[in-house]
A and B are shown apart, each in its own frame.
Chain A
Amino acid sequence: MRDFTFKRDWIYGWLLLLPALVFLFAFTHIPAVTTFLNSFFSTPRGRRPAKFIGVDNYERMLGDPVFWKVLWNNLWYALGTIPVSVGLAIVMALWVNEKLTGRSFVRMAYFTPTVLPLIAVANIWMFFYTPGFGLVDQITGALFGWPASNYLGNPDTALNAIIVVTIWKEAGFFMIFYLAALQAIPVTLKEAAQIEGAGRWTIFWRITFPLLMPTTLFVCVNAVINSFRLVDHIFILTDGGPDNASALLLFYIYEVAFRFWETAYGATLTVALLVLLSLLAIGQFFFFDRKVHYK
């Protein structure tokens, strides 16, 4: 009898898990494993089926100058977007957390870029950056008499121009998390510090910022993932050009897999991306987790 109930509970438990499991396996685990397996085969084409080629794809990847270029670009992209958008988010959150007139309007204005789809954002910025009659050129031309620029068409500035768009898009999103965290900090802490004679900077640096650390960890993990995940705007703004100056890893994967139809090499690059992302996520949780909580 006991055995029977144990078994029944067991079946019951699995049945409850089943719907989620099916979706998780169908859309996450099986594709990941298939991708990993495909990376050891050649790309099937028409009458030539895929054949096992060992680590050839990986050797090709290590010798592919475009791979190293997009990886390097991605590093710059991450370094350029994460600290600035997180810093900006804190500043904006602190500001709209104060009692100021038109607070909800300012909050809304900061949050608007987040609501817009990235493709729409890219189209708006496309107009800002257009040489000659774009918004940026009209402003710099009228104020400083600068000549027409070509930010997206110059390999030295294309990636930076894209970084600016990403920061504009992301800072508002992160601000919402900080705003929620700020409102969860008890006012009594601040008041006690003020009685002790602490200035605004000390209060921020010694009380507010440490209490925000769990949020910062969460935001940073998201920002890192986003820096590898957000590539939609590149399709609109530069298409990876000039000469791959603004291509990122995921963009290159799409290009290889769905433009060049080299699905096996695309799978290899995807494995590289997965490894990189898991390393980063694990690293962040293990190394920062200890320092995050206020003691």
Chain B
Amino acid sequence: MLKSTFLKAVAATALSFSTWASAQAVDLQFYFPVAVGGKAAETIQELTDAYVAQNPDVTIDAVYAGSYQDTVAKAITASRGGNPPQLSVILSVDMFTLIDEDLIIPFDDFLTTEEDKKWVDGFYPAFMENSQTGGKTYGIPFQRSTPVLYWNKEAFEAAGLDPDVAPATWAEMVEFGKKLTKKDASGNVTQWGVRIPSSGFPYWLFQGLAIENGATLANAEGNKTHFDDPKVVEALQYLVDLSTKDEVMAPGIIEWGATPKAFFEGQTAMMWTSTGNLTNVRDNAPFKFGVAMLPKKEQRGAPTGGGNFYLFKGASEEQSKAAVKFVQWITAPEQSAKWTIATGYVAPRAETWETETMKAYTADFAPALVARDQLEFAKAELSTYQNQRVTGIFNDALAAAITGKKDAATALKEAQKQADEILAEYR
């Protein structure tokens, strides 16, 4: 009797001791989206598992949360329900929205040493534009991309163009496009010159044109847009003219998702799309292809895109510290290289490109370097307060102009007026 009581007491002590020990381990919940094909989700899980294996004092619950849209919706809903994740990957452009909702905290509080500050400076400045505001760092670049031009070398050769030279200017793109646009006997187009998809989020690729023409779509404070800037109007006119006047691009809204397939099928000789498609094109294009920077008007230019790490409010001091440590680890060269090779996302730190793994990869596959080199000319992706709504208005204006329902100037002027009404309260 006495013995069994004693045993029970021992067991109970042991049990409570073991739960006490595991309570000492910091628990983190981490939401991530997947926006490209390939092995993105598996790679994140692998990396997380590797980190937990090396650091027994941390447990990380990596939650696949759907698309970018789903992830931000889940994170906001969970926070409102009092159960926020400690860490999440969300679009870099949602920074102002998350600040406005009072859901995130800057990384600065946890990056106190000189070494930490140097670490922040190690990211490409183009990526940091969408990650910092008011002198604070709210986002750490992770799955970042930028649009590039892909071209079909065999189609170039067939049209009598040099297969190794991509158009470098707007005028050249039209000129090449005219040579590349092929029609059959009854006058139907069988191959278009170029394809700039405009479904879903037309603002992103259009922003490439705007930047090349020397325009900025929104200020760094995220409270003023410049949609009706004459340079933006000119850029939109160029885009509209591609299918109406120059007839080198299919008319109407062009589907984003079907664009790589149209390229593989020979429906178009050139396409603009994300570097996130690099691995896809490499695996599936049945012809030799090239990758180039977007053509220039006044300057080269492209927007950045993709997702950042954010720290959420409501975490304990230990949790936030552990989360920052994990972010530092996963963006470190070896892990970052693995991630870039698995997905095609642009490694956000120069030192990653210096690793042996990346050198071997780029030696074998030079197009991967184009995105990195283009970063020098890249600018922040359009991002404002109430971002989804403001970009939504802008998207509607672009769609109206592309489908010929409104002329470029009117559409953009109306969009600017609507955006002003929304953003006035943030100035």
Contact = CB atoms under 8 A, between A and B. Distances in A.
Interface of A: 45-47, 126, 130-133, 141, 145-148, 150, 152-155, 238-239, 241-244, 255, 258-262
A260 B389 contact: yes
15 contacts: A45-B100, A126-B257, A131-B255, A133-B261, A133-B262, A147-B188, A150-B254, A153-B199, A153-B253, A154-B252, A154-B253, A242-B252, A259-B389, A260-B389, A262-B389
Interface of B: 69, 73, 76, 97, 99-103, 186-189, 198-200, 250-255, 257-258, 261-262, 265, 267, 386, 388-389, 392, 395-397, 399-400, 402-403, 405
A150 to B, nearest CB: 4
Given A46-B102, A260-B386, A130 B255 contact: yes
Nearest to A146: B188
Contacts, number: 98
SS of A interface (majority): loop
A246 to B, nearest CB: 10
Contact of A145 (B99, B186, B265, B402): B186
A243 B403 contact: yes
Among A46, A47, A141, chain B packs the most CB atoms within 10 A around the CB of A46
A133 B189 contact: no
SS of B interface (majority): loop
Contact of B189 (A45, A147, A242): A147
Nearest to B411: A243
A245 to B, nearest CB: 8
Contact of A45 (B101, B250, B392, B403): B101
Listed from nearest, the 4 A-B pairs whose CB atoms lie closest are A46-B102, A153-B253, A153-B252, A242-B399
A251 to B, nearest CB: 13
Given A153-B199, A260-B386, A261-B388, A241 B253 contact: yes
Given A242-B400, A258-B73, A153 B254 contact: yes
Contacts of A130: 255, 258, 261
Contacts of B400: 242-243
A241 B399 contact: yes
A148 B188 contact: yes
A154 B403 contact: yes
B405 A259 contact: no
B391 to A, nearest CB: 10
A239 B261 CA distance: 20
Contacts of B251: 150
A266 B378 CA distance: 36
A243 B101 contact: no
Contacts of A258: 73
Contacts of A152: 253, 255
B403 A155 contact: yes
Given A45-B100, A241-B253, A148 B386 contact: no
Among A146, A258, A262, chain B packs the most CB atoms within 10 A around the CB of A258
A244 B200 CA distance: 11
A148 B181 CA distance: 14
Contacts of A244: 396
A261 B76 contact: yes
A242 B186 contact: no
Among B69, B101, B252, chain A packs the most CB atoms within 10 A around the CB of B252
A133 B267 contact: yes
